């Protein structure tokens, strides 16, 4: 199942703690603001961006409709090129396959390309339990690993760290994992990158087994694709003797022509670049060139359950660009750890419950509520995942999963509202009553809002469940019906004169 961080509380509690960390919010605000601007600028350059988004969504949906056939085609193409294909139903099976391959080669360390799938299945921890060290080689992943930290962003896992924190991590922790940081290391980005490069270089040259994920898998030729910015992926994919790629079954695209669309959508949406600095593709074993033993682990781990959900299956279009995180007002304030998973932000709020199922634990069930439903995530998503639609769908499933047979407070409130709103006379009486009581409450606890509006302040329990977290606008002095009667539907003015 998806990797939720062990012991994490439900989102509201974790978010409250994160909101008290001013340094974290400053780091996040600066980083997400920078990526947002870069993305907006490069997307604006593309005249047919909306057509590209539509094409991306259509290709993914078409692929998912025939996923069984495409997967078999991919398997055949991979095998024809000398690749060993493994099928993994869940995290345990996938980890066992990878550990078995590493053990079979007698290694006690592997190097890794940044991969969400391997984080999802907790591969590093599974390998550590077998006495095999898994070294992350992406710079941000290295910072997280050395800092004994948790990732907080899909693309930039150490986004919550600023450069002086990174310097401190390198200075104090690098030696325990290999080559120490140079003497007198500064917090200049160039110096930090050079320190990481030296530290990693000896690992690249020594490792006999590498582990990667894949951004895409092209079924027609059995080609795997990794896009990255640093070149560490290219080193892992070419230097070791053995390469194991753990690939979620939704990463598949049928043809190279389909891939073309995503190679335009992904870099602009993720790093705000026109194209990736490094795009590596490999199709099986090439004698004398690159790894001579290739394995692909095709991972389900809940994806077929997502596919069975008619509303939720659009989440399988995700190409992990992280654009939705960078525009989300909730993510920007709480950071990624509050979501308690390797998949944070808006996509995490839907993907985790979809992969794990709702009603399993409180933390996962809290995620569909970690959103204002503002829709900014849908606006930027390169494959048009309607995240707000899926969030509302999942909230319904969470409510259903917790029904005990006895009506809850919200159930009773909804039944009462249906009874009142189902009859015009009852609605009219309720409006008068609401206006009177609302004015009394507003007079007690009125507070000013921007734009000259007012809201009702804090109310006692149970109404405080609403007023503690949201503005409750003061009721208008006159109901719509009263206004209609008084003005004859707007045909008379306040003085009773016809317009
Ligand atoms: S949901 Fe869309 S915007 Fe968010 S990471 Fe996935 S592809 Fe990117």
* Tens digit of each residue's pLDDT (9 = 90 or more) over 410-420: 788 889 999 99
Is the CB–ligand 1 distance for residue 295 below 6 Å? no
pLDDT band for position 370 (50/70/90)?
very high
Determine the atom of ligand 1 nearest the C-alpha atom of 269: 8
What average pLDDT score do residues 30-53 get?
96
**How many C-beta neighbours within 10 Å does residue 168 have?**
15
What average pLDDT score do residues 307-320 get?
98
pLDDT band for position 2 (50/70/90)?
very low
Of 437 and 307, the one with more pLDDT: 307
3 has a pLDDT exceeding 70: no
Least confident of 104-108, 265-269, 444-448: 444-448
State in Å: Cα 318 to ligand 1 middle. Answer: 5
pLDDT band for position 431 (50/70/90)?
confident
Condensed to tens digits (0 to 9), the pLDDT of residues 444-463 reads 666 777 777 777 777 777 77
Structural contact between residues 86 and 295, judged by C-beta atoms closer than 8 angstroms: yes
Helical packing angle, 256-270 and 22-44, nearest 10°: 130
435 has a pLDDT exceeding 50: yes
The pLDDT, as a whole number, for residue 475 is: 72
44 has a pLDDT exceeding 90: yes
CA separation for the pair 123, 145 (Å, rounded): 13
Is the CB–ligand 1 distance for residue 348 below 6 Å? no
Of 458 and 288, the one with more pLDDT: 288
What average pLDDT score do residues 433-445 get?
67
pLDDT band for position 443 (50/70/90)?
low
Is the CB–ligand 1 distance for residue 318 below 6 Å? yes
Condensed to tens digits (0 to 9), the pLDDT of residues 61-87 reads 999 999 999 999 999 999 999 999 999
For ligand 1, atom 8, which residue shows the shortest CA distance? 321
154 has a pLDDT exceeding 70: yes
pTM: 0.86
Is the CB–ligand 1 distance for residue 153 below 6 Å? no
pLDDT band for position 1 (50/70/90)?
very low
441 has a pLDDT exceeding 80: no
Is the CB–ligand 1 distance for residue 381 below 6 Å? yes
State in Å: Cα 53 to ligand 1 middle. Answer: 11
Least confident of 7-11, 122-126, 176-180: 7-11
What average pLDDT score do residues 127-138 get?
97
Give whole-number Cα distances, 44 to 19, 47, 48, 272, 275, in Å.
33, 7, 10, 11, 15
Is the CB–ligand 1 distance for residue 322 below 6 Å? yes
Question: Which element (helix H / strand E) includes 70?
Answer: helix 67-80
Query: Among residues of the chain, what percentage have pLDDT more than 90?
Result: 78
The pLDDT, as a whole number, for residue 439 is: 67
248 has a pLDDT exceeding 50: yes
pLDDT band for position 406 (50/70/90)?
confident
The pLDDT, as a whole number, for residue 440 is: 65
What average pLDDT score do residues 460-488 get?
79
The pLDDT, as a whole number, for residue 62 is: 98
Is the CB–ligand 1 distance for residue 315 below 6 Å? no
Strands (DSSP E) contained in 131-276 are 133-136, 209-212, 216-218, 223-228, 242-248, 252-253
Residue 196: which residues within 8 A CB-CB, separation 6 or more?
A: 139, 142, 170
Closest CA to 284 of 220, 211, 221, 212: 221
The pLDDT, as a whole number, for residue 454 is: 75
Exposure pattern of 209-244 as b/e (b: 16+ CB <10 Å)?
A: bbbbbbbbbbbbbbbbbbbbbbebbbbbbebbebbb
């Amino acid at each position: 199942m998806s990797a939720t961080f062990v012991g994490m509380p439900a989102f509201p509690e974790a978010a409250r703690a994160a909101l008290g960390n001013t340094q974290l919010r400053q780091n996040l605000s600066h980083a997400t603001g920078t990526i947002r601007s870069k993305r907006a600028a490069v997307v604006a350059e593309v005249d047919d961006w909306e057509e590209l988004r539509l094409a991306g969504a259509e290709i993914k949906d078409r692929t998912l409709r025939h996923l069984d056939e495409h997967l078999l085609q991919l398997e055949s193409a991979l095998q024809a090129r000398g690749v060993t294909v493994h099928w993994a139903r869940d995290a345990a099976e996938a980890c066992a396959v990878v550990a078995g391959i590493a053990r079979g080669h007698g290694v006690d360390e592997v190097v890794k390309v940044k991969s969400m799938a391997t984080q999802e299945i907790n591969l590093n921890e599974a390998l550590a339990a077998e006495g095999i060290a898994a070294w992350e080689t992406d710079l941000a992943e290295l910072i997280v690993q050395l800092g004994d930290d948790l990732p907080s962003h899909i693309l930039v896992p150490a986004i919550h760290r600023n450069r002086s924190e990174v310097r401190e991590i390198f200075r104090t922790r690098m030696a325990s994992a290999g080559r120490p940081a140079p003497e007198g290391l500064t917090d200049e980005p160039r110096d930090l990158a050079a320190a990481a490069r030296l530290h990693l270089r000896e690992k690249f040259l020594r490792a006999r087994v590498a582990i990667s994920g894949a951004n895409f898998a092209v079924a027609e030729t059995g080609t795997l694709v990794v896009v990255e910015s640093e070149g560490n992926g290219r080193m892992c994919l070419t230097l070791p003797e053995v390469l194991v790629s753990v690939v979620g079954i939704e990463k598949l695209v049928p043809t190279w022509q389909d891939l073309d669309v995503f190679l335009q959508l992904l870099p602009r949406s993720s790093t705000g670049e026109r194209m990736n600095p490094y795009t590596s593709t490999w199709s099986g074993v090439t004698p004398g060139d690159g790894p001579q033993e290739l394995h692909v682990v095709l991972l389900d781990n809940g994806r077929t359950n997502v596919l069975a959900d008619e509303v939720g299956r659009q989440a399988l279009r995700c190409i992990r660009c992280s654009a939705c995180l960078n525009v989300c007002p909730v993510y920007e304030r709480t950071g990624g750890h509050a979501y308690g998973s390797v998949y944070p932000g808006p996509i995490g709020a839907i993907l985790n419950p979809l992969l794990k199922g709702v009603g399993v634990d409180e933390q996962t069930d809290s995620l569909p509520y970690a959103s204002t439903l503002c829709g900014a995530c849908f606006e930027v998503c390169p494959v048009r995942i309607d995240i707000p639609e899926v969030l509302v769908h999942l909230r319904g499933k969470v409510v259903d999963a917790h029904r005990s047979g006895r009506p809850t407070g919200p159930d009773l409130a909804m039944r009462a509202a249906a009874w009142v709103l189902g009859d015009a006379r009852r609605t009219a009486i309720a409006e008068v009553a609401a206006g009177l009581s609302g004015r009394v409450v507003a007079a007690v606890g009125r507070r000013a809002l921007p734009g000259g509006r007012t809201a009702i302040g804090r109310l006692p329990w149970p109404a405080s469940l609403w007023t503690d977290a949201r503005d409750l606008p003061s009721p208008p002095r006159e109901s719509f019906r009263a206004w209609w009667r008084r003005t004859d539907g707007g045909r008379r003015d306040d003085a009773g004169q016809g317009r």
